[in-house]
Amino acid sequence: MMNQCGWIALTEPSPGHAPLRGAQKADWLIIGAGITGLSAAHSLAELHPQARIVIVDRQRAAQGASARNSGFAVAHENPADNELLGHNGFADYQADTLIGLAASQEVRTRIARHQIDCEYRDSGYYFAVSDPGKLCRVEARLQTLNAVGASAQFLQGPQLAKTLGTEHYQAAIWCGNGNALLQPAKYVKGLLDALPESVTLYENTEISGLERLSDGQIRANGPSGNVTARQVLVCLNAFIPRAGIETSSTFAMELSASLTRPLTDQEFAAIGSAAPWGVLSTRPLGATVRLTPDRRVMIRNTAEYRTKDLTESNLLLRRKHHALGLQRRFPGLSEQDIQYTWTGHLSASRSGQPYFAKVQEGIYAVAGCNGSGVARGTLWGRLLAELASGASSELLHSVMHRAQPGWLPPRPFFDLGAKVRMRLEAVRARTEI
Ligand SMILES: Cc1cc2nc3c(=O)[nH]c(=O)nc-3n(C[C@H](O)[C@H](O)[C@H](O)COP(=O)(O)OP(=O)(O)OC[C@H]3O[C@@H](n4cnc5c(N)ncnc54)[C@H](O)[C@@H]3O)c2cc1C
């Protein structure tokens, strides 16, 4: 099988759950059992211990993007030039980072509460480049990151090569304090396995739309059954249009990644027995790379706006691109050393901010994780449950205030614009793939 997620393959499967059949009733319905939906389910069960909560997923739960991502729990994003200390975007960057810090804390809290074994390492990550020109204004960047609570350090030359076990990267900012790495399939499985009894899960059930009934309740229709509930939380992320919500101003991107076999003792010694690490690119289309605790290398170096999903043969070509990125970093590795290759969908927006809203009476939705939904999805799930429950907090206000995904032109203009932008970004990232 070509499209096989390595993280999922290396994780013990959770027990299966039946599809939705017949007419079911619930107090709360959650659509989408990824990080966001599962986090919302936990929060609703904590807020309303007597309530009947139903969660539905179109495939096996916890096997979408939430299991297929690169496993960075992001508190601090790399600041854009206009967000550097002293510039007019700094206040917004500061507000976003407070949300990011709360989100990474939410991940830690969930892991501790449910004792999730997901190879969590609170050891920070690197914004690293092979072309030093792609990491500009280093001093201002360090000051900015440190001003918002990060612990940031600049590395280059032999010190960097020794730390990462590769001479590919020429400069990096290590960014700690809230930034962590985890095995994503194990994290989201942990959220799934810890669901309390008040939550009923239906798997392999695709919801095709929401219907408002005459008594004000909402009915979600699946192929062999339906659920009627007073309150519905839509946690579909890239698939939000499938619930009939077309106004989120978000769009889906398809990403692909590969994971190698574990390095042998000899290969590991040759790279200096480096400790596990994670590297984020400073360019949107640059590679995300990890050396995992079990000595595998993961690379994600494609991200595409597509109107049709990648086919098997498309994915084969993407795997060659992964192999090229691997060889640049670790010349001893080739395509034959790749054990797993897979795709996943994320939800993006023009501004980089999410859609987080009460859509209409009883319907709440979130989308637009923009590649940092491990931590933010965990937080948004809780906050969406709180919003729908009528709760209020400074953090919820801040998230709602920042949730402005930006305007998208109508199709086909959007399709054309997105393709041109992607090509431009690919050229800008060509030294970093
Ligand atoms: C390759 C890749 C790398 C990434 N790397 C990172 C990273 O390092 N750090 C980070 O923070 N983020 C990363 N992301 C983004 C991150 O994975 C997402 O932001 C996060 O998983 C979103 O979680 P979610 O629960 O909102 O969505 P999902 O995990 O996508 O869950 C949505 C669920 O809805 C289900 N569904 C879809 N349609 C229907 C329907 N009609 N009816 C019922 N169910 C339906 C799907 O099956 C899915 O399980 C990455 C994403 C990808 C694809």
Q: What is the pLDDT of residues 286-309, one digit of tens each?
A: 999 999 999 999 999 999 998 899
Which residue from 288, 296, 301, 300 is spatially nearest to 260, judged by alpha carbons?
Answer: 296
pLDDT at residue 110, as a whole number = 98
pTM of the entire predicted model = 0.97
pLDDT at 208 over 70: yes
Task: Assign 48 a pLDDT band (cuts: 50, 70, 90).
Answer: very high
Nearest atom of ligand 1 to the alpha carbon of 32: 34
Q: Which residue has the tokens 């797993």?
A: 340
pLDDT at 1 over 80: no
Rounding to the nearest 10 degrees, give the CA dihedral for residues 243, 244, 247, 250. Answer: 40
d(CA 120, CA 71): 9
Cβ < 6 Å from ligand 1: which residues?
31-37, 56-59, 64-66, 68-72, 74, 206-207, 235-239, 242, 255, 257, 300, 344-346, 369, 371-375, 377
Identical fold for domains 6-68+186-249+351-420 and 123-182+252-349+425-432, yes or no, is no
Could you write out the DSSP letters of every residue in 316-336? HHHHHHHHHHHHHH-TT--GG
d(CA 127, CA 288): 10
pLDDT at 411 over 90: no
Every domain of the chain and the residues it spans: 6-68+186-249+351-420, 123-182+252-349+425-432
CATH fit for domain 6-68+186-249+351-420, picks 3.40.228.10, 3.40.50.1100, 3.50.50.60, 3.40.1190.20: 3.50.50.60
Q: What is the pLDDT of residues 216-248, one digit of tens each?
A: 999 999 999 999 999 999 999 999 999 999 889
For the domain bounded by 123-182+252-349+425-432, which CATH number is listed? 3.30.9.10
Residue 373 CA to ligand 1 center (angstroms) comes to 8
Do the Cβ atoms of 6 and 342 come closer than 8 Å? Answer: yes
Two structure tokens written together for 107? 């991940």
pLDDT at residue 427, as a whole number = 86
Could you write out the DSSP letters of every residue in 261-296? PPPPHHHHHHTTTPPPEEEE-SSTTSPEEEE-TTS-
Q: What is the pLDDT of residues 358-409, one digit of tens each?
A: 999 999 999 999 999 999 999 999 999 999 999 999 999 999 999 999 988 8
Residue 381 CA to ligand 1 center (angstroms) comes to 13
Return mean pLDDT, the chain.
Answer: 96
Task: List the residue whose alpha carbon is closest to atom 11 of ligand 1.
Answer: 372
Which DSSP symbol is given to 121?
Answer: B
Do the Cβ atoms of 277 and 290 come closer than 8 Å? Answer: yes
d(CA 60, CA 108): 25
Two structure tokens written together for 230? 């007073």
- 209 or 93: which leads in pLDDT: 93
Contacts 24+ apart (CB under 8 A), 80-87: 81/136, 81/137, 83/144, 84/137, 84/140, 84/141, 84/143, 84/144, 85/140, 85/143, 85/144, 85/147, 86/140
The contacts of residue 203 (CB under 8 Å, 6+ apart) are: 16, 17, 18, 19, 33, 57, 59, 60, 61
Which residues face 304 on adjacent strands? 254
Which residue from 91, 81, 64, 57 is spatially nearest to 8, judged by alpha carbons?
Answer: 64
